Amino acid sequence: MSATLILAPGRERSVMRRHPWIFAGSVDRLDGRARPGDTVLVQAASGRVLGRAAFSPASQIRARMWTFEDESIDDAFFRRTVTRAVEQRRDLPELAGEFGPRGGVRLLHGESDGLPGVIADRYADVIVLQITGAGGEKWRQAIAEALVRATGIARVYERSDSDVRALEGLEPRCGWLIGDGEPPFPVIAEPGVAGDVNIEIDVAGGHKTGFYLDQRDNRRLCGELARERRVLNCFCYTGGFSLHALAGGAASVLSIDSSGPALATARRNVGHNPQIDAARAEWLEADVFQALRTFRSEGRRFDLIVLDPPKFAPSAAHAKAAARAYKDINLLGFRLLAPGGLLMTYSCSGGVDPDFFQKIVADAAADAGVSARVLRRLSAGADHPVGLAFPEGEYLKGLLLRVG
Ligand code: SAH
């Protein structure tokens, strides 16, 4: 018999709207015993059954809903849910190439795919699984096996070392779940303006699961816009936007990141792309905030600037401090743009919504004394769906702007 989590009166509303998180403050009591990650039945105060959730006593998110239906949570549940997520992506023509031998695609996008705290990215012949919740922790092997069945890809590597695990009371855990040998360095083929761009991924040592697949469409757009422009790519990581800009015929591409290992991978990526002119690429290991101030004092100008900073606001509580950092970086960006220049600017902070982000960028333009217009609103690709009941899933937003 599983335990039952009973909500406080009136606190069932968000679960009834299929939001997957149950906060500690909404819980009245737990009937029975449950260990971290155990499946509990969820009931409204009235006794109405709302579904089943993974219990997480250490977290403010006390439980995460696995299902809003009357179904058991077992290996078959994970097979069904994983297969549905993979098939949904396979059905989309724009992702067809990502199921080829060197594709790169997010297969599981957590809450929005009905699997709270579970992320899976496919890089060519390896799947990388990242678990950030107590429920996924318990079912990792079932999820890994379901991924292999649904994709035919034989190897699954775990990268569960995100800081947020501490909030759930979970230790870091990395290594093979299925497969063995040295950690892999798969090379994916990312669609670009002039054919594929090859990108190597350091599965064991890279950030997150090794790469930022969410920017795939935006990197391609950067390649389309870069022709004959002087490009500045800030927070370049392993060079994704830079490689697409070079492949798109940029006059020059200056890329900045504070991570030496990321830049070492970026340099290797240049070698994986013989079609690009390496002489047009310059790589700078530096703090972007400082480097941009220096460029400003040197009077340097660029025609296309990419600003893709790390998450400044992990939650709404950090939004104010994050807003200052976003404004600062965008202000510096506007000041370095030549007349008619383009800015691709992003925020991947869950705590900053698209309207707020646009307002911050507008404030930055006003302070820089430039007129700018939005040419496009940008977001993550179709392999990062956003559950309608889970607006938090829309963490990545961007703007393509033109000044002057
Ligand atoms: N645009 C990249 C992803 C960027 S992730 C892509 O398409 O793959 C954010 C990057 O910002 C990380 O590589 C991190 O090392 C870098 N970073 C974080 N703070 C920084 C700072 N103050 N200055 C320079 N780089 C920074």
| Distant-in-sequence contacts of 46-49, Cβ < 8 A, 24+ apart | 46/12, 48/12
State how far the Cα of 236 lies from the Cα of 34, in Å rounded to an integer.
44
Ligand 1 contact via 237 beta carbon (within 6 Å): yes
- Taking Cα atoms as reference points, which of 134, 136, 106, 105 lies closest to residue 118? 136
State how far the Cα of 131 lies from the Cα of 140, in Å rounded to an integer.
8
State how far the Cα of 353 lies from the Cα of 319, in Å rounded to an integer.
9
Q: What is the pLDDT of residue 334?
A: 98
Within 161-277, strands assigned E span 173-178, 187-192, 195-200, 230-234, 252-257
Ligand 1 contact via 262 beta carbon (within 6 Å): yes
Q: What is the pTM of this model?
A: 0.97
* Cα→Cα distances 21→48, 60, 62, 310, Å: 18, 10, 8, 25
Q: What is the pLDDT of residue 97?
A: 95
Collapse the DSSP code of 53 into the 3-class scheme (helix H, G, I; strand E, B; otherwise coil) and give the result. Answer: strand
Question: In this structure, which amino acid lies at residue 284?
Answer: L
Q: Which two three-digit tokens encode residue 61?
A: 């998110």
131 touches 220 (CB < 8 A) = no
Tell me, in angstroms, the distance from the centre of ligand 1 to residue 264's CA: 14
Domains and CATH numbers, the chain: 4-67 (2.30.130.10), 75-178 (3.30.750.80), 212-403 (3.40.50.150)
Atom 1, ligand 1: which residue's CA is nearest? Answer: 236
200 touches 269 (CB < 8 A) = yes
179 touches 157 (CB < 8 A) = yes
State how far the Cα of 287 lies from the Cα of 198, in Å rounded to an integer.
26
State how far the Cα of 175 lies from the Cα of 131, in Å rounded to an integer.
13
State how far the Cα of 66 lies from the Cα of 42, in Å rounded to an integer.
10
Tell me, in angstroms, the distance from the centre of ligand 1 to residue 10's CA: 43
State how far the Cα of 144 lies from the Cα of 155, in Å rounded to an integer.
9
In the residue annotation, 348 being an active-site residue is answered as yes
| Relative orientation angle of helices 319-336 and 354-368, to the nearest 10 degrees | 40
Question: What is the residue-level pLDDT of the chain in tens, covering all 404 positions?
Answer: 789 999 999 999 999 999 999 999 999 999 999 999 999 999 999 999 999 999 999 999 999 999 999 999 999 999 999 999 999 999 999 999 999 999 999 999 999 999 999 999 999 999 999 999 999 999 999 999 999 999 999 999 999 999 999 989 999 999 999 999 999 999 999 999 999 999 999 999 999 999 999 999 999 999 999 999 999 999 999 999 999 999 999 999 999 999 999 999 999 999 999 999 999 999 999 999 999 999 999 999 999 999 999 999 777 788 889 999 999 999 999 999 999 999 999 999 988 999 999 999 999 999 999 999 999 999 999 999 999 999 999 999 999 999 99
Collapse the DSSP code of 378 into the 3-class scheme (helix H, G, I; strand E, B; otherwise coil) and give the result. Answer: strand
Ligand 1 contact via 288 beta carbon (within 6 Å): yes
